[in-house]
Amino acid sequence: MKKKSQNQREIDEVRKNNFSTKRATVKNLEKILYKSFKVLDHGFVRVIDYMGDDSSVVQAARVSYGKGTKKLNQDKNLINYLISHRHSTPFEMNEIKFHVKLPIFVARQWIRHRTANVNEYSARYSILDREFYMPKQKDLSPQSKTNNQGRSGELSSDEKKKYSKILRENSEMGFENYSKLLNEDEGGQAIDENKNGLARELSRITLPLNTYTQWYWKIDLHNFMHFLSLRFDSHAQYEIRVYAEIMMEILKKWVPLTYDAFLQNRLNALTISSDGIDFIKSLIHGKSKSSAKISKRELETIKKIFNC
């Protein structure tokens, strides 16, 4: 607890700082710098630093220093055009850096986005806190029968209690063994003064995948939006989607014009195959058209959006 209090005091001190700068700043984002947004049971997201704003995207596209010479509506239209026509480089000029605390199994999904700079807390040099993720019973579901990488359906109350018990007992046992191997208690004191503990880099092997880790994660705006387009999606795993939900709100504060264009042209837009286009044409003209060439997921999406 002392460690957490000390960290919070340091963060509070940093948040008191004010700096004079000639670079672009965003008032709404400045307000939340270093502020922690709670995720899951022990996780969080906080913005550490950023570079650029909506005008920086426009400036990069026009390669000019003419900030303020164009009307807001012109900037909005240009950003909308850039996203709708998949022009990525102007958005790569903006960057944002996060401090994220997350379960290791979520981190292993997250790290698949190889377009960011990452520096993770090292269990070779430091001892991990006794914190592990425990899903709420309402979030426990069986394996999906139609999606190999997802879950759907319902478990009985007894099944949920049984599986929760197994998850908790396994996690607690993993940390108990971790302490025994290190020969240290949670306070860092030796359990047995007459014995040597195992090296930290080996002791960590016993820890479960729901152990919490932390990292600094820096990414440019273009790749950040790509991350959100996948992880904010309803098909994404719940435990990573809740992080994306908070980051979407941060994106909105940082670059509101880009955020609106992102919603309009990516999240709320539809990309379909040529077979899908032919199928829709047949619906418009009232012709009978086979859907055999269309994937099941694309057909379901078309029917859902067009209510057909």
Instruction: Indicate which residues carry an active-site annotation.
Output: 231
Buried (b) or exposed (e) across 25-38, using 16+ Cβ within 10 A?
Answer: ebeebeebbbeebe
CA–CA–CA angle 6, 174, 157 (5° rounding)? 100
Residues 6+ apart with CB under 8 A from 124: 200, 201, 204
DSSP letter at 178 equals H
Please name the helix (run of DSSP H) or strand (run of DSSP E) that holds residue 252, with its range, or none.
helix 238-254
Torsion of CA 241, 247, 253, 259, to 10 degrees: -60
| Per-residue H/E/C for 17-64 | CCCCCCCCCCHHHHCCCCCCEEECCCEEEEEEEEECCHHHHHHHHHCC
The residue ranges of DSSP E strands in the chain, in sequence order, are: 37-39, 43-51, 95-103, 117-120, 212-220
Burial of 109 (0-12, 13-18, 19+ CB in 10 A): middle
Burial of 167 (0-12, 13-18, 19+ CB in 10 A): middle
Say if CB 249 and CB 274 are below 8 A apart: no
**Integer Cα distance of 260 and 275 in angstroms:** 29
Q: Angle, to 10 degrees, between the axis of helix 274-284 and the axis of helix 296-306? A: 40
